[in-house]
Amino acid sequence: MTEIPARVAERADAAFEKTVARLVEYLRIPAISCEPEHAEDVRKLAGQIRGDLEALGFEKARVLELEDALPSVAAERCHKPGAPTILIYGHLDLQPVAGEPWSTPPHEAVEREGRLFARGSADDMGGWVSHLAAIEAWLEEVGELPCNVKLFIEGEEEIGSPNLERFMDAYPDAFASDVMVLTDCENPSVDIPGLTISLRGLLELEVTCEALASDVHSGLWGNAVPDPQVALIKLIARLVDDDGRLRLGRQEVDPAWREASREVPLSDAIISEGARLVEGVKPLPPHERSMAEWMWRQPAMTILSTTMPAPGREKNAIRGKASAKLSFRVAPGQTPDELYALVEAELTRDAPGGVKVTLVRQTEAESWLYEPKGPAFPAADRAYEKAWGKPLLPIGVGGTIPFVAMFGRRFGDLPLILNGVMDPKTGAHGPDESMDLEVFRKAIRANVYLLDELARLDAG
């Protein structure tokens, strides 16, 4: 006799086409949260999801509203007293598509070469719909879920979750749970499921070099007075090593993690294709670290803008002052304060040519470094072994995802399982976003097993 979870997984497989069809319906609605003219679409989709959740057997299915916020959807089915409660987070809103060169209309999902192309297919409609499909299969096959489940589907993730903490305050019951599965992240490849355990934070600042009250003739005054533009270049150059990587604030990483991270398929070919390197240019040398470590666990810098004259604005003058806006990706476990202190010390000592240097600190966001602890993680690994043939590989994200930091702050003591259906070819936030349908199928199966595995944990 087949074990119950395996039967449920088969049932989910059998319903796969139906699941894809439901997903395609959701993807038709342009629920673009950053464009006010689509606010009604966000509401429409939220209402449609709410109705579907109710029809599926969820209780308290409701569209949650707050003043000056787009709605979120919450629902629960908690029929197992004593069993753990799992919160599943996803988001229903979409990134915009305006001005992007899509091969097919972004809101009419199209299947091509095993992938489903549409805005939101993987980020994040496919993410939480993969849970819905697993839940539906449990209810159809067994008539009940093995544990208590709550869903929270946010409507403002793509604008940085500006009201998520207000939702957490206003509806604490919607979040009260023992394990959280946050489904809006990536897999390192279509064959390796990922567990996101770190995010880099953000620090932006403006550095200005000033020497002259106005621009002056470079033929008359060159070599006699300091040049703020040259000083600015010299200052920025202090921050980086010979490869051009930020040399300040480097982190020690766990050697075991470093070894494991070499498994992440980030070959030169994949990086060259993904980052669109031009012929003859190679990825930076990894030296003793892994590429994954450079991309996820070490701080990095880029120049956002400068006041350097653009072509067509040339003049033979020493400019009175020059500024640059610099953006730093703060390493996981590092605070913006710590990195700022290092950068400030470097930029304000021994000013080149004695120019006046000023710094203005701007936007910032905390990084996140999570240590998976407790039995929920081996349980998740067992579920993924059954569905993918592999446990979850701990990975990081080089960018900043505000909602994760909020969950981390509020619920960091709970097991937080960050997974998703994206893969390196997904192209989230860009044209031709797509989801690998085999990844979707494996995600659904993994979610079937995940509910069973988590059900066996002691609640609280």
Residues in contact with Zn ion by the rule CB under 5 A: 123-124, 184
Tokens 């033979």 -> residue: 316
Q: Which residues does 449 contact at the CB level (< 8 Å), separation at least 6?
A: 5, 9, 382, 383, 384, 386, 387
Nearer to Zn ion, 123 or 364 (CB): 123
- State the DSSP string of 323-388: EEEEEEEEPTT--HHHHHHHHHHHHHSS-GGG-EEEEEEEEEE--EE----STHHHHHHHHHHHHH
CB of 429: closest distance to Zn ion in angstroms?
A: 9
Strands 416-419 and 179-183: parallel
Contact 134, 12 (CB under 8 A): yes
Closer to Zn ion by CB, 123 or 141: give it.
123
- In the complex, what is the shortest distance from the CB of residue 27 to Zn ion, in angstroms, rounded to a whole number? 14
- Does residue 92 contact residue 147 with C-beta atoms inside 8 Å? no
Question: Min. distance of Cβ 157 from Zn ion in angstroms?
Answer: 5
**Chain Cα centroid distance, residue 388:** 22
- Minimum distance from residue 362 beta carbon to Zn ion (Å): 25
Between 184 and 432, CB nearer to Zn ion: 184
Supply the DSSP string of 116-136, one letter for each residue: EESTTIIIIIHHHHHHHHHHH
Euclidean distance between the first and final Cα of the chain, in Å?
A: 33
Question: Is the CB of residue 307 less than 8 Å from the CB of residue 323?
Answer: yes
Task: State the nearest-atom distance from the C-beta of 93 to Zn ion, in Å.
Answer: 9
**Least distance CB 214 / Zn ion (angstroms):** 48
Cβ closest to Zn ion, residue 443 vs residue 455: 443
184 or 366: whose CB is closer to Zn ion?
184
Least separation, in Å, of the C-beta of 328 and Zn ion? Answer: 23
Distance CA(403)–CA(65), nearest Å, equals 18
Q: What are 117's strand-pairing partners?
A: 110, 434
- In angstroms, rounded to a whole number, what is the distance separating the alpha carbons of residues 57 and 135? 10
The first and second tokens of residue 363, run together, are 């936007």
When the beta carbons of 403 and 449 are compared against Zn ion, the nearer one is 403
Smallest gap from residue 47 Cβ to Zn ion (A): 21
Q: How far apart are CA 234 and CA 140, in angstroms?
A: 66
Residue with smaller CB distance to Zn ion, 41 or 123: 123
What is the distance between the alpha carbons of residues 178 and 87, in angstroms, rounded to a whole number? 8
Measured from the CB atom, is 123 or 381 closer to Zn ion?
A: 123
User: Is the Cβ of residue 184 or residue 293 nearer to Zn ion in the bound state?
Assistant: 184
The amino acid sitting at 240 is V
Q: Please, what is the minimum distance in Å from the beta carbon of residue 273 to Zn ion?
A: 23
* Strand duo 148-154 + 85-91: pairing: parallel
